[in-house]
Structure 1
Amino acid sequence: MDEKTAVVFPGMGPSSFAAVGKFMVLDPYVGQLLPEADAALGYSLLDRFYSSDEEYSEYTQVAFLVNSLALARRAGDELGMRPGYCTGPSFGQKAAAVWTGCLDFPDAVRMTAELARCEQEFFATEYSDVVTHTVMRVPGEALRDYLSGLTDRGHWYEVSGRLDDGFVMVSLSAGLLAEFKRAVSAMGGYSMSTMRPPVHATAFRGLRRKAAEEIFPRYEVRAPGIPVVADQDGRLVETAEDMRRMLLDTFDVAIDWPAVVDSLVRLGVRTVYVTGPENLFRRVRCTTRNFEVVPVDPKNTLQNMLRPVRPTEPAL
């Protein structure tokens, strides 16, 4: 175990079959996990994932979990990754829970599918008009002034995540999205992705209660085998109780990636392996200026798998 190394299971972005399907079919580490996932689900994950056209369907979410864990196994076997710490911002918590021994893989697969259905049921009737929009390079004071203006006009919003300076996730009514994008552009910032269903807001405490009452009691959550850094505030998670709390906090507590980075720096971490299909957490400045970043993702892995091997020239 290397105390100067951490594994980061990234948050989930759009991850379609078109983007990762070939990797899933060819990668032997995915191949080891798929039969277990299929048995846990009672259906073929690849078949359902192939047929799904929703960015955050239960099939897409389980596929993301499988891919993240497969890539971490590959990093361990081929790159010698032996992390002393683990973190998993947002959806990455689920893979972190498996990697650190808090959840068995089949349980994590079932929980992921059940939570996806739970969210779908909740947002069908509650906050059905809300989205979470991610923006970057936005001056902090200008953004605060705009958001204060929303409050003055009687509109609701919440900051659902802080990823770096000027890089935030904001939950608000879908009816305000076009206006918000124009405002961000006028501030000199950039709009990135929009998530529906929305995430990480105190307004969603009802979803937290629903998950805590209907789903979590069916699963044993154990203490992590290595310390986990919580994505909400950078605290160390070392007990089963705190791990369960972290998993539930994801519904109604904003993520704070700079706080995670600060904790890892204080712990002496110098290298982070980012294992999963993403291009966000490994690229933000607070990550790149503090660590050596080793990305392990489907695209690069697939390219390496398909790279032709040149025959060895005979010795003279």
Structure 2
Amino acid sequence: MSLVLFFPGLTPTRYDAIGDFVTTHRHAARRFAEADEVLGYSLVEAYRNASIYDWEVYQSGYMALTLALADWAEEHYGERPELCGGQSYGAVMAAVRAGALSYPDALRLMVRSVRVEQDYFSSQPEPIGCHFFYKLSYDTVRKLIEEFRAQGSWMELSVAFDASVHAVSAHQDTLVRFEQRVREEGGMPFYTVDRAEHCSALAGLRDRLADEVYTTATWHDTSIPMISDVDGRCLTSGEEIKQDLLNGWTTPVHWRTVMDGISRAGGDRVWIPGPRNMFARISNRAFPTRVISPKTALAA
């Protein structure tokens, strides 16, 4: 049986929640310094002053943070994972740990992707977004989506994080009404991002990224297998992982797909590096799970 290093998807995390780790821990110092070289500016300073809609800064910071936490965990606990994986944006960090992408190439891939995404979303006839919420069952979420579709609105399920945390993509004005329905059904809205996520409506964006961005990176075969969050397969070639990351743009993320993939691959324990202990929800009902957070590392 195998240890799985699993990188969670990006959630907005303010600098004050990670600042102590970022500025005092040697693993963080190394990852952030490497990012500075690629980005051409101080990522720590940019993160300190960023808003949650500064995609490049938040995504770069999240990549540096989670990889630093993974570095620390492997050193501190004296174990190396036999498998890795990631959910949503976390799949990019998994590609780095698997060896399919170098860290600098992953940062450059993200920066170029952000520029294409911003151009794509700004050119849409109507603003679109993705709303995250919790405390509703999957069946209730499906019922609400069908309710809005019956009214003529475009809406797609983007994320089923676990049995009660979900996200849907739709036009921004639709999401305002959807948030009210979430409250009426007893759910709790979390936050809305200014872009759609993981849905078929992003086919055009996926094609642009494939042509303009993903061909600019060098892809390698892996040193450890990477579990896909698209279909749960174990991926070992650079080309497979490149296509999987692209397919993630148009495929809803479902936690059950990941859990089934871990089981089929022989995983029996999971480490999750991330800024919040809420990520234990991904796997702690199915596997012994250790969340590797800044607090974990600073307290050691």
TM-score range, shorter chain: over 0.9
Change (3 A) 1:128 1:19: farther
Deviation at 1:198, TM superposition (A): 2.4
Higher Cα Rg, which structure: 1
- 2:156 corresponds, among 155, 158, 161, to 158
Residue 290 of structure 2 corresponds to: 294
For 1:90-239, what aligned pairs fall within 5 Å after superposition?
90-126=88-124, 129-239=127-237
Q: Secondary structure at 1:282's aligned position in 2?
A: helix
What is the alpha-carbon distance in structure 1 between the residues aligned to residue 166 and residue 118 of structure 2?
A: 24
Structure 1 letter corresponding to 2:287:
F
What is the CA deviation profile of residues 162-181 of structure 1, one whole-angstrom value per residue up to 9, with x for unaligned ones? 22224321111221223222
2:101 touches 2:218 (CA, 8 Å); kept in 1?
A: yes
TM-score (norm 1): 0.89
* Contiguous gaps of at least 5 residues in structure 1: 306-316
| Secondary structure class of the residue paired with 1:252 | coil
Change (3 A) 1:20 1:117: farther
TM-score (norm 2): 0.93
Percentage of matched positions with identical amino acids: 30
What residue in structure 1 maps to residue 7 of structure 2? 9
Q: Which amino acid aligns with 1:66?
A: A
Matched letter for residue 203 of structure 2 = R
Q: CA deviation at 1:21?
A: 2.3
Query: Where in structure 1 do 4 or more consecutive aligned residues deviate above 6 Å?
Result: none
1:18-97 equivalences under 5 Å are 18-97=16-95
1:269 to 260, 267, 272: 267
Q: Is the 8 A contact 1:15 1:55 kept in 2?
A: no
Find the partner of 1:241 among 239, 242, 254: 239
Contact 1:45-1:59 at 8 Å conserved across structures: yes
Count how many residue pairs are aligned between Structure 1 and Structure 2: 300
Q: Cα 1:67–1:226, aligned 2, differ >3 Å: closer, same or farther?
A: same
Distance, in Å, in 2 between the alignment partners of 1:127 and 1:276 is 35
| Distance change (3 Å), C-alpha of 1:188 and 1:265 | same
Ranges in structure 2 where 5+ consecutive residues have no aligned partner: none
Q: Is the 8 A contact 2:196 2:202 kept in 1?
A: no
For residues 184 and 39 of structure 1, what CA distance do their matches in structure 2 show? Answer: 44
Once structures 1 and 2 are overlaid, which stretch shifts more, 184-193 or 108-117?
Answer: 184-193
Q: CA offset at residue 274 of structure 1?
A: 0.3
Q: Could you tell me how far apart the structure 2 residues matched to 1:12 and 1:186 are?
A: 27
Tell me the CA shift for residue 159 of structure 1: 0.6
Once the two structures are overlaid, the 10-residue window that deviates more, 209-218 or 61-70, is: 209-218
1:12-33 residue CA offsets vs partner (Å, 9 max, x unmatched): 0002222222321111001122
**Conserved? CA contact 2:21–2:294, under 8 Å:** yes
Whole-angstrom CA distance in 2 between matches of 1:102 and 1:200: 22
Q: 1:127: Cα distance to partner?
A: 6.3
